[in-house]
Amino acid sequence: MSESTKPTSQAILGNSQSPPRTTTKSQAPPPIEDQEYCEPPLEFGEIEDFRYYNRGGFHPVDIGDILNDRFEVIHKLGCGGFGIGWLCHDRDFNKWRAVKILTANLSAESSNRELKTLAYLRDQASGEELERNHIGVALEHFYIEGPNGRHLCFVTPVFGCSVARWRSMLNCEEQSTMVASRNICRQVAKGLRFLHSKGIAHGDFKPGNILMRLEGIDDLDRSELEELLGEPDLEPMETMSGDDPRPRAPQYCVKHVSQTWCKRFLVEEVTIIDFGESFHVNSPKDSLGIPPAYAAPELMFPKTRALGFSSDIWALACVMFEIKTGDILFQNANRHDLDATVREFELFLGPLPDPYRAAWKGQDQVLQAHVRASETGKLGGNGELPSEANAYASEDATSLLEEKAEILAGTRSSHVLEGTLVKERTVYRPLHPGDPRSKPLHFRFPRNDALMLAGLLSAMLKYEPNDRMTSEEVCRHPWLSGKSGLQGICSKLGATRVGNLVKGLVFVLVLSLSAVVLNAYAASSKNVQPHSSGIIRGLCLPEIGDGNHAGQLFLMQCKY
């Protein structure tokens, strides 16, 4: 549809032939046939799968609809395989709210995991404790009946963009970004530790389920909010048959709002959401819907190891790497191409062990490959240990080792994860504000900081689930606990200078206490006067330089 003929949201709301629907619990789905739909516009990018606008799938929503006689739909926030999120105006309390409408198939009260988990968490902790630990729970929930079934709806505050989107808006070479990203990692780990302490595994721990909080959004009136959101981008829904898509589907397909619409309201605090894949550790699931880039080996190779907290720990490591660097760690992982997945794992973690190797190729093929390699002399022919390349399961092990060597070149590291964090990075910045031309900017993360993070992530990314750190151990690690700050100072100054610094601090403390005592004594005695000079000499703290200069200790006069 051309721009000149594309309807506006005001036109939709004002169309007397198509009044806003009021969806309540009392409506029953009419007996209608399933529909086939035309593909959505390519420029809409990520959009819901139209095939699910049928029985058991999505509830049809148009801009201006009223949900549960209360929530007026203003814009689309996002969508997924489980449901669609809408920005709504709560007409009862004059608040802006997010309403997530699940597919009908996932809405059965008896089987919905998110509903059970949220009820359990509310029973285990107060709302303040949940918020303090970065857990986003629904304010309330309700059900609506529609043409595709009965749908469970969760009402939450309006949250901001995903943590990955937040990270992409920062200049990764700046010191402030390094500080902020570590703080966000600390919050994310804290939230997961809280869930685990209550016996809950999240099951879908990824950046898209970790959102930034907003402040001040409810202070906006409707016109101010709509100015921020922009006009909804709409396209008519079309069926393959040419019939009206309603009532199975909405009248219009809505492109979700830009993730940057609320940028000025973002605060550096996260909320963990979406517990649709969660489970109690005493009742583990057999499989999870987490994307491959965050899925542990026991998920990529089903029925090899039990799922549990350790699967979340693997995902947490991937998330923390992404928050720190802005890059996806296992970006080529793919359930439909296990060869690429195995190569990713082996590049960072070394040869794939059993039982994953057997689950991937089959135990017989693994044994046959071992025999063939031995017969052709690849194992030495006389029972010798295999070469490094032959230890890998990847068919292109030689190129894998070449890539590993390329990553490690010049990093003074022996592990790929270390080398990846230590190596020089390049970003491109405009030559001048508004200039389309760009120039490369080279930088490195501070070496000690990168090595410490690499050590933490390596302890979380173990093939064997039982070998991974617990969430409690992760939170106590120096990179997150804050103890690394002193270690960083020590590494910059050196042991001798640190010793002198400590001595200087002690000296200043003693002199300061002496001054307080003398003043107190002078004030209490008419015959005793402070020292006539009124001056003592002490050592001041050094200023930490750029690594070549540790700073200068200098004397200053301190009056008491």
**Residues 41-68 pLDDT 10s:** 777 777 899 999 999 999 999 999 999 9
Amino acid (one-letter) located at 300: M
Is residue 460 scored above 80 in pLDDT? yes
User: For residue 335, is it within any domain?
Assistant: yes
* CATH code of the domain in which 249 resides: 3.30.200.20
- Range from 94-108, 123-137, 195-209, 485-499 carrying the lowest mean pLDDT: 485-499
- Write down the pLDDT at residue 506: 53
In 9-140, where does DSSP find H-type helix?
Answer: 9-14, 113-124, 127-132
State both tokens at 176: 């402030």
- Write down the pLDDT at residue 82: 86
Name the one residue in this structure whose structure tokens are 């590049």: 347
Instruction: Tell me the residue range of the domain where 74 lies.
Output: 34-162+215-278
Contact 100, 85 (CB under 8 A): yes
User: For residue 304, is it within any domain?
Assistant: yes
- Write down the pLDDT at residue 493: 42
* CATH code of the domain in which 476 resides: 1.10.510.10
Instruction: Place 520 in a pLDDT band, splitting at 50, 70 and 90.
Output: low
Name the one residue in this structure whose structure tokens are 């003592």: 536
Mean pLDDT of 397-423: 91
Alpha carbon distance 117, 289 (integer Å): 17
Instruction: Place 512 in a pLDDT band, splitting at 50, 70 and 90.
Output: low
- Write down the pLDDT at residue 40: 81
- Write down the pLDDT at residue 137: 92
CB burial readout 301-334, b (16+ within 10 A) else e:
beebbebbbbbbbbbbbbbbbbbbbbebbbeebb
Boundary residue ending a domain (492, 521, 551)? 492
User: For residue 270, is it within any domain?
Assistant: yes
Is residue 300 scored above 80 in pLDDT? yes
Is residue 84 scored above 60 in pLDDT? yes
User: For residue 2, is it within any domain?
Assistant: no
- Write down the pLDDT at residue 522: 52
State both tokens at 558: 């301190």
Instruction: Place 511 in a pLDDT band, splitting at 50, 70 and 90.
Output: low
Alpha carbon distance 35, 47 (integer Å): 18
State both tokens at 432: 């001048």
Instruction: Place 316 in a pLDDT band, splitting at 50, 70 and 90.
Output: very high
Boundary residue ending a domain (247, 278, 309)? 278
- Range from 33-37, 199-203, 218-222, 412-416 carrying the lowest mean pLDDT: 33-37
Name the one residue in this structure whose structure tokens are 């006067």: 529
315 and 229 within one domain: no
Alpha carbon separation from 414 to 172, 330, 403, 407, 420 (Å, rounded):
25, 19, 13, 10, 11
Contact 206, 213 (CB under 8 A): no
Could you tell me which of 425, 386, 395 has the C-alpha nearest to residue 407? 425
SS3 186: helix
User: 22 φ, ψ to 5°?
Assistant: -110, 110
Q: Which residues pair with 443 in a beta bridge?
A: 425
Is residue 29 scored above 50 in pLDDT? no
464 and 332 within one domain: yes
Other beta carbons less than 10 A from residue 361's beta carbon: 19
Mean pLDDT of 16-28: 45
Which uninterrupted H or E stretch holds 196? helix 175-197
364 and 294 within one domain: yes
Is residue 547 scored above 90 in pLDDT? no
470 and 438 within one domain: yes
SS3 155: strand
Is residue 7 scored above 80 in pLDDT? no
For residue 355, say if its preceding peptide bond is cis, omega within 30 degrees of 0.
yes
Percent of the chain with pLDDT over 70: 75
SS3 373: helix
424 and 351 within one domain: yes
Alpha carbon distance 513, 517 (integer Å): 6
What distance separates the 2 farthest-apart alpha carbons in the chain?
106
Is residue 507 scored above 60 in pLDDT? no
Name the one residue in this structure whose structure tokens are 């029925």: 303
Is residue 383 scored above 80 in pLDDT? no
User: 498 φ, ψ to 5°?
Assistant: -65, -40
Mean pLDDT of 27-33: 52
Is residue 515 scored above 70 in pLDDT? no
264 and 410 within one domain: no
In 89-174, where does DSSP find H-type helix?
Answer: 113-124, 127-132, 163-168
User: For residue 84, is it within any domain?
Assistant: yes
User: For residue 26, is it within any domain?
Assistant: no
Whole-structure pTM over 0.85, yes or no? no
454 and 306 within one domain: yes
SS3 141: strand
For residue 247, say if its preceding peptide bond is cis, omega within 30 degrees of 0.
yes
Boundary residue ending a domain (492, 520, 553)? 492
User: For residue 203, is it within any domain?
Assistant: no
167, with CB counted inside 10 A (0-12, 13-18, 19+), is: buried
441 and 312 within one domain: yes
Percent of the chain with pLDDT over 90: 56
- Write down the pLDDT at residue 513: 65
Mean pLDDT of 279-295: 89
What is the count of structural domains for the chain? 2
259 and 154 within one domain: yes
- Write down the pLDDT at residue 519: 59
Is residue 166 scored above 90 in pLDDT? yes
330 and 229 within one domain: no
SS3 528: coil
Alpha carbon distance 21, 69 (integer Å): 10
- Write down the pLDDT at residue 377: 42
260 and 129 within one domain: yes
272 and 293 within one domain: no
- Write down the pLDDT at residue 348: 95
Contact 3, 47 (CB under 8 A): no
User: For residue 140, is it within any domain?
Assistant: yes
Mean pLDDT of 23-45: 67
Enter the DSSP assignment of 343.
Answer: H
- The strands making up 83-90's β-sheet, listed across from edge to edge, are 22-23, 66-67, 71-79, 83-90, 95-102, 149-157, 140-146
Instruction: Place 4 in a pLDDT band, splitting at 50, 70 and 90.
Output: very low
Enter the DSSP assignment of 211.
Answer: E
